[in-house]
Structure 1
């Protein structure tokens, strides 16, 4: 970590969440919390050998 970030972490050690939120609000940081970003499950690709059951109309150019 950079020296500045180390100093911020040291300054906030032992401080409760409400105090941190108040300090960030005083600095003008938006106080809205963002929800957790969840990874969207993806359908796995077929094996490299291919599958005879898969039909595609995609044309590679």
Structure 2
């Protein structure tokens, strides 16, 4: 919840290794224990649509 709007991040589903790149657009998620909400399109790319939630890794490069 601290990354600036517009930050591009790589989100990887830890259960299958699939990744997608997304842009931070809001300040969610608003559910305790969750670190990111994905669009349906992004969730589908990494195999989370039918699952609803999953374990993911978020990576980004800090701007200098």
Q: Does TM-score exceed 0.5, indicating one fold?
A: no
TM-score range, shorter chain: under 0.3
Select the structure that is richer in helix.
Answer: 1
Which structure has more RCO (C-alpha within 8 Å, separation ≥ 6)? 2
Normalising by structure 1, we get a TM-score of: 0.22
Q: Using structure 2 for the length normalisation, give the TM-score.
A: 0.21
In terms of fraction of residues, the more strand-rich structure is: 2
Name which one, 1 or 2, has greater alpha-carbon Rg: 1
